[in-house]
């Protein structure tokens, strides 16, 4: 069991001041560290606790937490109004990552309208305009072009830690 825990990477979120709180999963000891020197280092780090246990971690320098999901939706190109089905992989207050179910000519800088239904109890429909920031085959990363500082529905959804992530697209 200890070997499996050593191999499991723990994701540590870094705040806007480049401070990360590292928590030992063996004893619960927490320590806040300045991780500025690791900003451009995209590697797994080995942490050693005062209890003697060590573990692997990766630093997440994102501004906002991304919630993993598996929600069905679609996007519409604003240039020609063509629609394409998607699966939303994760969402944050500033952006979205999704997989296209069909191939289309999508490029960095394209402006889209994305519509998807949250898997919350109200089945809230989210409609956002986004700009494409990354394209890797069918995996698309976007940021919201007009992020509302306070988006009530999305904010409540992101705060809810009850994970309803489905196991496969067939379950959607």
Rounded mean pLDDT of the chain? 82
So what's the pLDDT on residue 142?
A: 94
Give residue 79's region: left, alpha or beta (phi > 0; psi -120 to 50).
Answer: alpha
Q: How many whole angstroms separate alpha carbon 123 and alpha carbon 118? A: 5
Most confident among 85-94, 147-156, 162-171 (mean pLDDT): 85-94
Write down all domains in the chain, each with its CATH number in brackets.
2-60 (no CATH), 67-171 (2.40.10.220)
Q: Does the pLDDT value for residue 25 go beyond 70?
A: yes
CA distances from 28 to 11, 12, 19, 158 (A): 16, 14, 18, 25
Pick the range with the lowest mean pLDDT from 12-16, 27-31, 62-66: 62-66
148 or 74: which carries more pLDDT confidence?
A: 74
Task: Answer for the pair 157, 120: CB distance below 8 angstroms, yes or no.
Answer: yes
């Amino acid at each position: 069991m200890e070997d499996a825990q050593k191999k499991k990477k723990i994701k540590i979120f870094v705040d806007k001041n480049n401070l990360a709180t590292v928590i030992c999963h063996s004893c619960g000891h927490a320590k806040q560290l300045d991780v500025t020197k690791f900003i451009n280092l995209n590697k797994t780090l080995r942490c050693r606790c005062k209890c003697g246990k060590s573990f692997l971690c990766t630093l997440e320098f994102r501004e906002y937490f991304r919630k993993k999901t598996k929600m069905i939706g679609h996007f519409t190109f604003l240039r020609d109004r063509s629609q394409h089905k998607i699966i939303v992989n994760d969402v944050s207050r500033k952006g979205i990552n999704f997989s296209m179910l069909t191939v289309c000519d999508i490029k960095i800088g394209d402006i889209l309208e994305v519509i998807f239904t949250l898997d919350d109890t109200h089945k809230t429909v989210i409609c956002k305009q986004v700009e494409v920031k990354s394209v890797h085959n069918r995996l698309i990363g976007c940021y919201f072009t007009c992020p509302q500082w306070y988006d009530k529905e999305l904010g409540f959804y992101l705060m809810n830690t009850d994970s309803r992530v489905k196991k496969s697209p067939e379950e959607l």
